[in-house]
Amino acid sequence: MAHVDERSDRPGTGRLVLAGTPIGNVGDASRRLVDLLETADVVAAEDTRRLHRLAASLEVTVQGRIVSFHEHNEAERTPDLVAAVRDGATVALVTDAGMPSVSDPGYRIVRGCVEAGLPVTVVPGPSAVLAALAVSGLPSDRFAFEGFAPRKPGERARVFTALAADQRTLLFFESPHRTAATLEAMAEAFGADRPAAVCRELTKTYEEVVRAPLGDLAAWAQSTEVRGEVCLVVSGATEPPARDVGDLAVEALELVTSGYRLKDAVRVTASRAGVPARSLYDEVVSRRRG
């Protein structure tokens, strides 16, 4: 197996450097980020205008070539940037905020360099995911980042139903105008009493963290104008107590009465209770026939 020396700070050694940028407060920029922006041969930026504003705030002059690198041109630009690394250039990748590749461009170029046997390293920096997890007040020993929830209600409900029994703390990004609908869907799938937190505008002037059960957060979001960058943190499921399959069948049938399709009602009820959907389905069908 070929080995790539990641200690790639030797002169003349090409490397890709993933650099974390502030998520709101420019004071969070690291000294290493400043040095990298000053010395990189190429700076690939998600938004070149934001890069120029960041550099001005840090009083940094970017000496290297600046290229745009975003979701619409990532596939096209990756081969040229990999070639630059191969030729000995230091290529710095920065996104608008936080760490590249985390719900941001970066994965393709990392894979390209890895497959070419080229060094990839990192200048760690702020992360909205970890910041939200830390301030949420929810368990942080085991967690999963799920990115943005699907926009379509049906797909969103299916995703949340599949996650309802997950015992890890779950984190999601969300746009402010969809926050209320997403919280309502979470309350439906996870239960209105599930502890959660809405973290918005972290590190910025109007930072706000609202901690409450999902049902209360859904009502709060409906009654206020949610603004800014939003991260939703939801506590994992607790170990479900043993439930009588007959009682669960009654719950599923109540969902059917309220408008759920039979299979969806069984899936939601089984997921909440942590029981196999197949056995619950058989019980529900038997009761309907009886």
The 10s digit of each residue's pLDDT in 63-91 is: 999 999 999 999 999 999 999 999 999 99
CA-to-CA distance for 154 and 271, rounded, in angstroms? 16
Q: Residue 198 belongs to what H/E stretch? A: strand 195-200
What are the C-alpha distances in Å from 259 to residues 45, 192, 248, 262, 279? 48, 19, 17, 9, 22
Q: What is the pLDDT of residue 239?
A: 72
* Residue 23: DSSP 8-state: S
10 or 50: which carries more pLDDT confidence?
A: 50
CATH architecture designation of domain 15-126 = 3-Layer(aba) Sandwich (3.40)
Band (pLDDT 50/70/90 cuts) for residue 227 is very high
Average pLDDT, rounded, for the chain: 92
Q: Which residue has the tokens 């797909």?
A: 155
Nearest of 49, 59, 9 to residue 29 by alpha carbon: 59
Q: Are 194 and 250 in contact (CB under 8 A)?
A: no
Query: In the predicted model, is pLDDT for residue 274 greater than 80?
Result: no
**Domain range list for the chain:** 15-126, 129-234, 245-289
CA-to-CA distance for 100 and 267, rounded, in angstroms? 36
Chain centroid to Cα 75, Å, comes to 21
Q: What is the pLDDT of residue 1?
A: 44
Q: What is the pLDDT of residue 241?
A: 61
The radius of gyration of the chain's CA atoms, rounded to the nearest angstrom, is 23
Q: What is the pLDDT of residue 104?
A: 87
Q: What is the pLDDT of residue 245?
A: 87
Edge to edge, the sheet with strand 195-200 lists 143-148, 169-174, 230-234, 195-200, 208-213
Q: Which residue has the tokens 């700070």?
A: 9
Q: Partners of 174 in the beta sheet?
A: 230
Q: What is the pLDDT of residue 132?
A: 98
Query: In the predicted model, is pLDDT for residue 243 greater than 90?
Result: no
Band (pLDDT 50/70/90 cuts) for residue 240 is low
> Three-state SS for 152?
coil
Task: State the average pLDDT over residues 209-237.
Answer: 96
Classify domain 129-234 by CATH number: 3.30.950.10
* This model's pTM is above 0.95: no
Nearest of 26, 34, 177 to residue 97 by alpha carbon: 26
pLDDT > 70: what percent of the chain?
94
> Three-state SS for 129?
helix
84-134 pLDDT, tens per residue? 999 999 999 999 999 999 888 899 999 999 999 999 999 999 999 999 999
* Residues 6+ positions from 211 with CB-CB distance below 8 Å: 136, 137, 195, 196, 197
Amino acid occupying residue 194: R
Q: What is the pLDDT of residue 167?
A: 94
Band (pLDDT 50/70/90 cuts) for residue 12 is low
